Amino acid sequence: MSTTETPDATLDTRAHLDSRYGRTTGRRRRTKLWAILVGSAVLVASVAWVIWVGIFSPSSSLEVRDLGYAHDDTTATASWELTVDAGLTSSCAVQALNSTHAIVGWKIIEIPASDDRTRRFTETVRTSEPPVTGLIYRCWLT
């Protein structure tokens, strides 16, 4: 004997199993609602961050330009021009290179705040072997 199930019996069994294992339509709605709320919150936070960083962040600028160098067998002297907003402190890394472009001297210079926007500096770096150049590696706000 074979038993055939009616569509109503299948639906009734499915509804019973869904209810038994917590797969109710109310639960699905709550899950969708939470997903929409969390997605909306992430979207709002992302847009707020982009606006804050892109529009309202302080726009301090820093520019550096090599002016020249001099060297002997044990030192390299670099000259540079630093442009930074008045009242901000910065630091610069000066490096000396040998003929194979290896770093043979390195020094970090602390630049105090000033009312002048553009200033010129000269710094001498001791080297571990004869250099061929002295230059600014990088400057940053501190």
In whole angstroms, how large is the CA radius of gyration of the chain? 34
pLDDT, residue 121, reads: 96
Buried b / exposed e over 87-117, threshold 16 CB at 10 Å, is ebebebebbbbbeeeeebbebebebeeeeee
Mean pLDDT in residue range 13-26: 75
Helices (H) and strands (E) in the chain, counts: 2, 6
pLDDT, residue 6, reads: 60
Classify residue 73 as exposed, middle or buried by CB count within 10 Å of its CB (0-12, 13-18, 19+). exposed
Of the candidates 25, 5, 4, 28, the one whose C-alpha atom is nearest the C-alpha of residue 15 is 25
Is 63 strand, coil or helix?
A: strand
> Rounded distance, CA 32 to CA 24, Å?
13
User: Higher pLDDT residue, 59 or 1?
Assistant: 59
Domain ranges of the chain: 7-56, 62-141
> Rounded distance, CA 12 to CA 24, Å?
13
**Taking the model in full, what pTM does it have?**
0.58
What are the φ/ψ torsions at residue 56 (nearest 5 degrees)? -95, -5
pLDDT (tens digit per residue) in 87-124: 899 999 999 999 999 999 999 999 999 999 999 999 99
User: In this structure, which CATH number among 2.40.70.10, 2.102.10.10, 3.40.50.620, 2.60.40.10 belongs to the domain 62-141?
Assistant: 2.60.40.10
pLDDT (tens digit per residue) in 124-139: 999 999 999 999 999 9
pLDDT, residue 55, reads: 75
pLDDT, residue 1, reads: 46
pLDDT (tens digit per residue) in 31-78: 899 999 999 999 999 998 888 877 776 666 889 999 999 999 999 999
pLDDT, residue 84, reads: 92
